[in-house]
Chain A
Amino acid sequence: MRGLFIAEWLRWRSSREMIAIVLSAPLLAALQYAVAYFHGVSLVAGAPGSHPDPDAARLLLGDVTFPQSVAATLVSGPWLSAGAFIAAALVVGLDFTWGTIRTTALLAPGRGALIAGRCATIGIVTTLSVTGVAFAGLFGPVVTGLSGPADAARLFAQVGGVLLATLIYAASGAALAMVFRGAATPVLVGLLAYVAQTAVATLPAWDDPTLVWIARILPTEAAGALLVAVQRSAGMIPESVAMPGPVSTPWPINVLIAAAWIAALVAGTALQASRMDIKE
């Protein structure tokens, strides 16, 4: 198992494509955070000659922009989710494209161990990316004195929520790559599935409390609802604002649904790997 894990890291060391994805997704997310940061600073500073409202500044710095909203701001763009999905699809799918699935399947102690090594790598890279960017984003405002001490519990809850949501996308990328035995088709199918789920989730019919549960268990909607819960906890969406449809799900249920999706997708990937004929 340890050997498989090391092999997975060695496998990607010189891959320009993988390095570009793994670096660009957090960088774009950090850029998004930086834009929000400077936008917040400019709002606090106010226009030249104007006198900023101290209460508004406190609200922006303390409750909305920094630091409690780091995770929420990071995930308000698609970079981490898309990066995790594509990277996972490449990790699993390129093995089929290159035909190396044959070689690895022949040499590995078992297909279950092989998939466990892959999933562990994907999980660790995703976790490092999300937490790394989140805490790097937090570091700036704290050391520059623009923010008071963070509410640690809220912040960790947010990062955890973002991580779960991102892991859903990563697990989806791996599962689709295993089903379609390649890297390109899963990316296209994933994009179409995302659009389809978003369209379904915005149907007026979701006012019906029975139907809304169907939307709640869709993977991207579960991830989206989790992120809305994160944004609510950051104060970016006031409690007074009513959220219709799937996103109204209480956060503990969102967490359960997200965890169930991750477990189901990983189990499905492992099951498919253990049962499939390798003809590549």
Chain B
Amino acid sequence: MQAVEIQALTKLFAGRPAVDGLSLTVAAGETVGLVGPNGAGKTTTLRILAGLVRPTSGDVHVFERRVRLGSAMAGLAGAVVDRPALIPHLSGDQNLEVFARVAGISMTRTERAEAIRRVGLDPGDRRPTRAYSTGMRQRLAIATALLPSPRLLVLDEPTNGLDPSGIADLRQLLVDLGGAGTTILLSSHLLGEVERICTRVAIIVRGRVLAEGAPSEIAPTARSARVGFADLGTASAAAGVARSRGIGAQQEGPEVRLDLPPEELGEALCALAAAGLLPTSVIAGRASLEDVYRRYVDATEIAKEQ
């Protein structure tokens, strides 16, 4: 069963596409990460999915129910989209009490305390949430999203404001929820975290999905090598030679990252040596998600400039 089906989704803001014909499916029980640069359309896609924003065209279904603007999502999906939003003069416990009532749920104090503890906060903290740190607000917002025990959890950059231990706690929480069968769709700029948490990744650039699949599936399509040189000048020249042969090359200090299949690496190194550019080190291996991401984003930027 598909938890999320997004078909040819488009959203125009003042005539400019924020989302441009985006299609994506998420199977029930999957944890899918959306990655992409700022302004790629990730947050807008999640807002449409949550019924907060009306699409210009296209269809979105959550568990086979068509999402319409303002349609009831409670019980089906929980979401934290954009910055965490809480009632500033109420404590964490009081916020949960209010939002539980909004969702039509009657929770005892003990149940609320458990929900607060689950996201790593102190249920005895009586301070108003205006005194909370960004990370604490983020945790409480996630607790709010989990109130209706949703089958689908939508999180927009959930690690924002979290310290390293908070990120680790959140990772464990998401892994636990995923293990319990909750479908999770999240966006993040922390590619390492996405690679660790998500079973599938979609790279979104300029409102479209450019690549999607399991991290292990996407990465081999863009195997790369890091070739080190003695100085910056040699590295710059090597990058130029590689590009002249149609190889994607990115200089990073005295290193050049070559995007090419492994069977073509030897030939490329021979070409560099023939040009008098002898490498001092070669590290070949599977590309990280960051490598893949950068390849797609860079390619889009180059295409945009041309």
Name A's B-contacting residues (CB within 8 A).
3-4, 6-7, 10-11, 13-16, 98-112, 114, 273-275, 277-280
Contacts and interface: CB of A to CB of B under 8 A. Distances in A.
B102 A274 contact: no
B99 A104 contact: yes
A278 B103 contact: no
Contacts of A98: 85-88
A7 B97 CA distance: 8
Contacts of B147: 107
A279 B94 CA distance: 25
Interface string B201-230: 000000000000000000000000000000
A280 B53 CA distance: 11
Contacts of B71: 110
A103 B85 contact: yes
Contacts of B54: 277
Given A102-B52, A278-B47, A278-B53, A7 B82 contact: no
A7 B101 contact: yes
**Is the contact region of chain A dominated by helix, strand, or loop, or is it mixed?**
helix
B47 A279 contact: yes
Given A15-B89, A99-B85, 18 more contacts: A3-B105, A7-B99, A7-B101, A10-B97, A13-B90, A14-B94, A14-B128, A99-B82, A103-B102, A104-B102, A106-B50, A106-B79, A107-B148, A108-B102, A110-B72, A273-B70, A275-B69, A279-B52
Contacts of B73: 106
A277 B52 CA distance: 6
Interface residues of B, number: 40
Nearest to B88: A98
Given A3-B101, A4-B101, A7-B98, A102 B70 contact: no
A6 B128 contact: no
Interface centre among A109, A114, A280 (most CB of B within 10 A): A109
Contacts of A109: 72, 74, 104
Contact of A3 (B70, B86, B104, B128): B104
Interface of B: 47, 50-54, 69-74, 77-79, 81-83, 85-90, 94, 97-99, 101-106, 128, 141, 144-145, 147-148
Nearest to A111: B70
A16 B89 contact: yes
Nearest to B52: A278
Given A98-B85, A99-B85, A110-B70, A105 B52 contact: yes
A202 B109 CA distance: 58
A118 to B, nearest CB: 11
A3 B102 contact: yes
Contacts of A114: 102
B199 to A, nearest CB: 24
Contacts of B144: 103, 107
9 contacts: A3-B105, A4-B101, A7-B99, A98-B87, A98-B88, A101-B85, A107-B144, A107-B147, A107-B148
Contacts of A106: 50-52, 73-74, 77-79, 81, 145
A212 B83 CA distance: 50
- Which 6 interchain pairs have the tightest Cβ spacing? A99-B85, A7-B101, A111-B70, A107-B103, A278-B52, A277-B53
Contacts of A3: 101-106
A99 B106 CA distance: 23
A104 to B, nearest CB: 5
Nearest to B129: A98
Contact of A105 (B70, B98, B148): B70
Nearest to B43: A279
Contacts of B74: 106-109
B173 to A, nearest CB: 19
B85 A100 contact: yes
Nearest to B73: A106
A279 B101 contact: no
B102 A107 contact: yes
Nearest to B78: A106
B103 A108 contact: yes
A109 B73 CA distance: 7
B102 A4 contact: yes
A277 B86 CA distance: 19
A105 B106 CA distance: 18
Nearest to A16: B89
A114 B221 CA distance: 49
B90 A14 contact: yes
Given A102-B81, A102-B82, A279-B47, A107 B89 contact: no
Nearest to A109: B72
B41 to A, nearest CB: 14
B132 to A, nearest CB: 13
Contacts of B79: 106
A14 to B, nearest CB: 5
Contacts of B101: 3-4, 6-7, 10
B11 to A, nearest CB: 9
A276 to B, nearest CB: 8
